[in-house]
Amino acid sequence: MMKYLQRIGKALMLPVACLPVCGILMGLGYALNPATMQGGDTVGAAATIGLFLVKAGGALIDNMSWLFVIGVAIGMSDDNDGTAALAGIVSWLMITNLLSSGTVSALTGADADPAFGKIGNQFIGILSGLIGASCYNRFKGTKLPDALAFFSGKRCVAIVTGIVSIIVSAVLFFVWPFIYGLLVSVGSAIVSLGAAGAGIYAFLNRLLIPFGLHHALNSVFWFDAIGIADLSKFWGFADGAVVGETGQYMAGFFAPMMFGIPAAALAIVHCAKPEQRKIAAGIMGSAAICSFICGVTEPFEFAFLFLAPALYLVYAILYGVFTFVAVSLGFRAGFCFSAGLTDLIFSSQLPTAQKVWLIIPLGIAAAIVFYILFRVVITKFDLKTPGREDADEYANEVNAVLANDDFTKVAEIVLEGIGGKENITSFENCITRLRFEIKDYTLVDEKKIKSAGVSGVIRPSKTAVQVVVGVQVQHVADELKKMM
């Protein structure tokens, strides 16, 4: 299960890499055109440029689920084929259209549950990608009778995906409103708990981010689902703001997003293996800047969420703790977009903002606590954060030399030595190794595999075999894929 989650995490790195620059564009855009936050008019050259940057960044940030569909589908397919991405999009379109508010209303003859207004979220994006990849892996080699031969192989994948997505939609039709309604009920129940309730909300908000279900909670606290409307009242979009009270469900996010995440990102870089530290720094550095400026946290969160889910739980708890502290101390700030520097600057001018100066001590405390906890937890439990994944443990093998440059012949010998393609349940490669999951370990002939001129054979378990090839591994892997 953990390996599967780690594969999802790696698959998400491609779409997540698109987000930091978009977040920074939006932060700069809001700085040039603050009225954009409040739905104001665009007046002047700077404001026009600001609006342009906001829309440019929002093009991807607002459609993150689509990116996740494609990234997960390609990343989880056996051979990273674009057909899997097409299948993922088919699944996404099927599910989001069948479960849209309009379709549900037409099917039931009544107003759709509010839950269906939030169906196009990250969870459904990841789910659609997994459906597309699974259907591709299972049916890409399907052979049909001659009369239907045109739809054989990869052409049948999208068709099967559509059928599976219809079934999944039917299940979600009953399950999704229950999940959404449960979260709204939980949100309503913690309102009376004051600062502790705000902390619980922040914890649940972060915990639900990967699934897109945080929108259900946000509707309770930020908007007018039950009359709190913390965000709307703070900015004056709605009446009823109470100075010293309004803003408590937003204030706690600033210290973690502006200071905690950059410090945690630094801890992840320091915990990376020396040979992979530059790569980790590139990922974490852009994520930290993005979070600090405009409060876009997904590049940071999805970089380690599936690689180290236990660490994500610690991360969510820290949000809860710092929100409780911030609210208890009377710190009040708000945002229209997210809790980054841009929103803090503009919200600090509003009458509902209180003790904004506390962001300095709160931020310093968040930076220290996030850094220490992340570093201790990562190293103590050997968590596979960026720069520490299993694939990176073999960097010393990049100097391994393949004795035979006939990659086709090498692949043939390895395949024979592994017990043939019938003995393989899954296959992938890292930077230096071929990685096989097998059915019967007794069929593996290590001497035969080594006769191909490879540098070594490693057997971590009875169902796993790793063949050390060196930097030429991709060529051998490509030949193996053809044979399989």
Give me the active site residues, please: 430
- Distance of alpha carbon 265 from alpha carbon 477, whole angstroms: 34
- Residue 294 near residue 340 (C-beta atoms within 8 A): yes
What's the 3-state SS for 460-478? Answer: EECCEEEEECCCCHHHHHH
Residue from 257, 258, 277, 476 nearest 386 by CA = 277
- Distance of alpha carbon 224 from alpha carbon 69, whole angstroms: 31
- Distance of alpha carbon 173 from alpha carbon 196, whole angstroms: 34
- Residue 264 near residue 315 (C-beta atoms within 8 A): yes
Helices H / strands E in the chain, number of each: 22, 4
- Residue 439 near residue 423 (C-beta atoms within 8 A): yes
Give the SS3 label for residue 123: helix
Burial class, 455, CB count within 10 angstroms (exposed 0-12 / middle 13-18 / buried 19+): middle
Strand order in the sheet with 464-468: 424-429, 433-438, 464-468, 456-461
- Residue 302 near residue 210 (C-beta atoms within 8 A): yes
Residue from 387, 383, 471 nearest 434 by CA = 471
DSSP 175-237: HHHHHHHHHHHHHHHTGGGHHHHHHHHHHHHHHHGGGTTHHHHHHHHTSSSSS--HHHHHTTS
- Distance of alpha carbon 475 from alpha carbon 452, whole angstroms: 14
CA 76 to chain centre: 14
